[in-house]
Structure 1
Amino acid sequence: DPNVYYQANYAPFNILHELDANNIDLNLVDTKFQAELAYNPIRDLRLDLVGAVQYDASTQENNVEETSNEAEAYRAMGTSQIRDHNNYLYTDPNDAYALPISILPTGGFYQRTDLKKLSWDAKATANYNHVFNNIHTLNVLGGLDVSNVDREHTWFNGVGMQYERGMTPFYIYQYFKKAQEQNNDYYSLSETHNRTAAFFGTATYSYKQRYNLTGTIRYEGTNRLGHANSARWLPTWNISGSWNAYEEPWFQKVFQQVMTHATIRAS
């Protein structure tokens, strides 16, 4: 029954009331700008440049009001048995005769999480493609790709926020004392910075579209792999060749309708 109050964490709980007294507000911003440029300085050469900038931000506010079950659980000690078993209460370990007390005598919580990301990336390529005397075909591609990503995460827990008393906070030092003894964070701030760069090139030569030779090289790195150049940078390369046998004059005569295409590749 949604209208009935139950017990949760030794405090009254009703789902409809909890939705009103314990809620989350979200705000999101997502923007991106991108531009592309292309230029042909000569007939067989094409230059391309692509760049983009993106900014994302989100804010999450968790309003735990004083009448919510989550806040009331910090004050639940109606009987001595509840007082002794309620883990939300605090007993001073330095006082052998201390009784459990509430570390949230009034108010609730205002918890906020902020996430931000600013990134940009750019890619530049040059492509040369030319056929010499309808016999030799040469295609060369080279370029670079760089990216930058900065992320920031902040979290804050405002204890003792009195929503029904003009949003004024009230807190006692025992809350922070308990958090320190349990090694709990009261707030946090973290940043990450990702940097990547890659340089690449490929060249393909073809003779009468029959014999093909391709070479590829790529040299990329990132700051996430430490300071050592041996770990930060990763060079890769590849050489491959192929023979399009079906382009040979004798292919159709030998195989006729049995086979229409045949290519042998090696790398």
Structure 2
Amino acid sequence: MKDIVADPAIAPQPYESLDRFEGATVIVTGASTGIGRATARRFVLEGANVAMVARSEDDLAEAAEGLPEARVLKISADVSKEEDAKRIAAETLAHFGAIDVLVNNAGTAVMGSIEEVDRESWDKVIDTDLTGLYMVTRAAWPALRTARGNVVNTSSVSGTGGDWNMFAYNAAKGGVTNLTHALALDARESGVRVNAVNPSITRSALTEDMFENEDLLQKFMERLPLGRPGEPEDVAAAICFLASRDACFINGVNLAVDGGLSASNGQPPQA
């Protein structure tokens, strides 16, 4: 693994508070691990109040460890359940009084061909990755309109093209990618911006098996111009940028956070 680990000089470095979100309230779903955890912690570091959402109370407690209790609300919820989606928005408003940013990050995946993936597995991916995103966004939308806030969705490079044996995930993330475009158009009168990030392979609980397969991981590294996998902090930094006033004229964008993967036309190296 040593040959694909990032040089410390170019790996994500510790960041100091920029205070871009001082006093703002942010919801981050899927906040207990990976990209969601790094994003929630980054927002807190930059001054925000953060509602951290995940299914496991124990995982949430671990993810929030060391963060100022007054600025963190831990909500145990399943975004695929409509009553939970509504409760996420309601509890955040009751606790902090506003919703300025919504980060829809909760997601899951299933591997397999059309012959192997059953309806239950299909529904789990679509309900969590796409329908859950819709329901949480809908529940938070009145508060986002009031705040003239913004939404950042976690899509994927898998939402811009197909993968082998991941058709359910591709379908869900393709929906997130185009939903981001469509919501940005429909939000014209509200002042709410809607953007997304599209990461490539990034360390997380979802990709743990991939990182343990050295042959597979090496194949990924051969396709990435930066020659290393993404770290959760890489994606968190992009999410916070899109949510900030620095991106106030960026709307309806699916931002590739992929180490240069999308720069390729797909053909193999010739030298």
- The TM-score with structure 1 as length reference comes to 0.20
Greater fraction of residues in helix: 2
